[in-house]
Amino acid sequence: RRRHTRYWRDWSSDVCSSDLGGSGSSQTSFAPLANAVLDDHALQQGLKGIHPAFGDLCTRVAGEVWGKPLIDQATKALITIAIDVVNQGLDGPGTPFEAHVRMALKQNVSFEQIEELLLFTCAYAGFNKAAAGFGKLAEIKARIQAESP
C-alpha cells in the first residue's frame, strides 16, 4: 500500500519551490502543458507504476478529456482539486490530491488561487472537507519548498 502513496509523490515531484519563483513564491515560472496528462510523461510512468493496464486506461481516458478545448488546463486542474475535496480524496494510498495540486502549479495556478478554491468549496462541499484540504495543501506547500535547492 505504501508504494501507491509514494507513487503520487514521485510522478508529481518535478515541481519544486525553485519552479515557483524561488523562496516559496506561489507563482510558477514555466510554460503550462498543452495537455496536462498526455504531455506529462512522468505522470504517465507513475500511473503505469500502479499497474500497467491502469496507467494506460487513465492516460487514454483522462488524456482525452483534458484535451477537450473549451475549458483551459488551469481550470481543469482546479476542478480536479475541488473534486478531490468533495470526495475527500486527500490522503492515503493512491489518492491524487498532491498530484492534482502539482498539476495546477504546472499550469501557472498559484497557491493563493488554490486556497481561494478551497474557501469556495466550503459553501458547497462543507467546512470540514475544506479544512482537510487546507491542512493537506499546507503539507504539500512545505514539501515543495523543502525540495528546492
Give pLDDT tens digits for 1-59: 333 333 334 444 444 433 443 334 444 456 777 888 888 888 888 888 889 999 999 99
Quick one: three-class SS letters along the chain? CHHHHHHHHHHHCCCCHHHHCCCCCCCCCCCCCCCCCCCCHHHHHHHHHHCHHHHHHHHHHHHHHHCCCCCCHHHHHHHHHHHHHHHCCCCCCCCCHHHHHHHHHHCCCCHHHHHHHHHHHHHHHCHHHHHHHHHHHHHHHHHHHHHCC
Residue 138 has pLDDT above 80, yes or no: yes
Residue type present at position 148 = S
d(CA 62, CA 101): 16
Q: Are 66 and 38 in contact (CB under 8 A)?
A: yes
What pTM did the predictor assign? 0.75
Cell numbers placing 145? 519548498
Give the pLDDT confidence score for residue 93 in this predicted structure.
66
Give pLDDT tens digits for 79-128: 999 999 998 877 776 678 998 999 999 999 999 999 999 999 999 999 98
